Chains A and B, each alone.
Chain A
Amino acid sequence: MNGRPGTAGSSTRQIWSLGGGKGGIGKSLLAAALGYELARMGKRVILVDADLGGANLHTCLGMGAPEKTLGDFILRRVERIEDVLVETAFRGLRLISGASDFLGAANIKHLQKVRVLSRIRSLDVDVVILDLGAGTAFNVVDFFLISDVGLLTLVPEPTSIESGYRFLKAALYRRLRSVAPTEAIRHLVDAAGDRKHPLGIRSPLDLLNTVAMEDQRALEPLRREMAAFHPRFVLNQVRDEEDGAIGHQLVTACARHLGISASYAGCVHFDDAVWKSLRQRRLFAVDAPACRAAEDVRRLARGLLGGENLALEWT
């Protein structure tokens, strides 16, 4: 995750992912609305329902369950990932529907996942948007980690924020483990992911301190990896200004207590129009383009394309 998207109008292919650790916080709706807005801006967009086992992105787009899904590609019923691409009702926006049509979809094997990730990377479009499932399983986190823009979607509620931090730590530890130069350091990374481990490592910063005491030479690759990890917060279902300000607080808290250099991409307000549209199995950005949530998504899409983040006024 390099956190450096191209600028609006460029044809550089980017992968955006929407994770969040928790279900029911609006990731799929946001993914669908972002995809729609990007397509309206003239981008060629593919939405990938990477919620293996719980796919429903097609419903957010007002579609029935597509005939061909990612499951067909995973199980090699089709050879190319392009064979499971389906058109949506919106020009420039296509969908790869999720693999919920076979048992075990959520637990695909490592090699199957590597094949999916590599083929997603090769898709010839401007932006691929990955809608991730809940939880912190490797099969979720790995999709987050291959993205150029990792969006951590949260709602301003304790359960969501706790899950969000857990998700960030899981993703970062996964990344740090992959560059740990020795078995001993890999054990330390594993210990960091275990709250009850006797070493008592509570955060990535604690981990770095412990590594520094254990093996000074191992520190540099871990530091480099941490410095390259730039998740972006998106706050959904924000009800007032104070809710919106939590995005800045999350950024500060991440930097101060986790050592993670995150940023705040923006927020989407709670809006009755969103669920009214969903009840009709329609996309709110299409159904009610003037509603506040749709305006927020448009602003968010433009900002993400331009690599912009919200900054605190006084910093």
Chain B
Amino acid sequence: MSVLRGNHYALLGLEPGATTEQIERAFRYLIELYGEDALATYSLLDSGEAKQMRAQLREAYDVLRDPVRHLEYDVRHGLISGRTPSPGNQLPGMPPLPGVGVSEDGEKAARAAVRPDPVVLPEPVNGRVLKAHREERGIRLREIADSTKITLRYLEYIEADRYSALPAAVYLRGFLQEYARAIGLDPRRTSESYLANSGIQEGGE
């Protein structure tokens, strides 16, 4: 069975101009649809096709959720003009754009102008506040496990502050950064704050 082709929007079942929230929801819905052993698709696609589909979805999502890459993608595919967008065709979920030229300088300017500040939680960061932030955004742990490939159990331990059950700090830092990224938090500051609060030492087992 042929795996779907088309642009990033079509792959996510969206139209150009979809909001950030729609992109998030579509990705989470579809990554679950094509998950390993997903009831609705396991008999339609073989495991290789499903894996390919997940990879394509991640690629589309990574581009469309990043304001700069999103903009570059739209310009490159002629979905918006390279000139300053009017309020009517401004990408949803993004702040008003300054001059967005196709020149390198213009793109640099756009990059600087549109990159949103990452969300930084107040100190101290622990499992409880991470869980509250995740739930507020309506993201389920299973979705994070599917998109990050971090075992669901470890995600539960992170939110439960079960430090003794968590892996060594060198691995945990990576887990925390992936988790933070998935729920829209600053990966570096979130992981540092969580590790500092937990007392888990780098280099420890």
Contacts and interface: CB of A to CB of B under 8 A. Distances in A.
B40 A249 contact: yes
A249 B42 contact: no
B17 to A, nearest CB: 14
B51 to A, nearest CB: 15
B65 interface: no
B157 interface: no
A246 interface: yes
Nearest to B30: A252
A257 B33 CA distance: 12
A162 B39 CA distance: 9
Interface in A287-315: 312-315
B39 A158 contact: yes
Nearest to B32: A249
B39 A161 contact: yes
Nearest to A257: B44
Contacts of B26: 314
Given A162-B43, A165-B44, A246-B40, A253 B33 contact: yes
Interface residues of B, number: 20
A80 interface: no
Contacts of B39: 156-158, 161, 246, 249
B25 interface: yes
Nearest to A249: B40
A308 to B, nearest CB: 21
Contacts of B42: 158
B43 A257 contact: no
B25 A161 contact: no
Interface in A158-179: 158, 161-162, 165
Interface string A128-171: 00000000000000000000000000001110011001000000
B177 interface: no
A252 B33 contact: yes
A257 B22 contact: no
B29 interface: yes
B45 A257 contact: yes
Interface in B49-90: none
B4 A256 contact: yes
Interface stretch (A39-47, A85-93, A199-207): A199-207
Given A249-B33, A252-B13, A252-B33, A257 B41 contact: yes
Nearest to A250: B40
B44 A312 contact: no
A249 B38 contact: yes
A165 B43 contact: yes
A258 interface: yes
A198 B22 CA distance: 41
A249 B25 contact: no
Contact of A253 (B2, B22, B40): B40
A253 B44 contact: yes
Interface string A195-232: 00000001101100100000000000000000000000
B112 interface: no
B45 to A, nearest CB: 7
B2 A206 contact: yes
A256 B50 CA distance: 13
B1 interface: yes
Contacts of A314: 21-22, 25-26, 29
A170 B84 CA distance: 53
A166 to B, nearest CB: 9
Contacts of A161: 39-40, 43
A258 B44 contact: yes
B137 to A, nearest CB: 14
A209 B43 CA distance: 21
Contacts of B45: 257
Given A314-B25, A314-B26, A314-B29, A253 B41 contact: yes
Please give me the 9 A-B residue pairs with the lowest Cβ-Cβ distance, nearest first. Answer: A249-B40, A314-B25, A253-B40, A202-B1, A257-B44, A162-B43, A249-B33, A250-B40, A253-B41
19 contacts: A156-B39, A158-B42, A158-B43, A161-B39, A161-B43, A162-B43, A165-B43, A203-B44, A205-B1, A205-B2, A209-B2, A246-B39, A249-B40, A252-B29, A256-B4, A257-B1, A257-B44, A314-B25, A314-B26
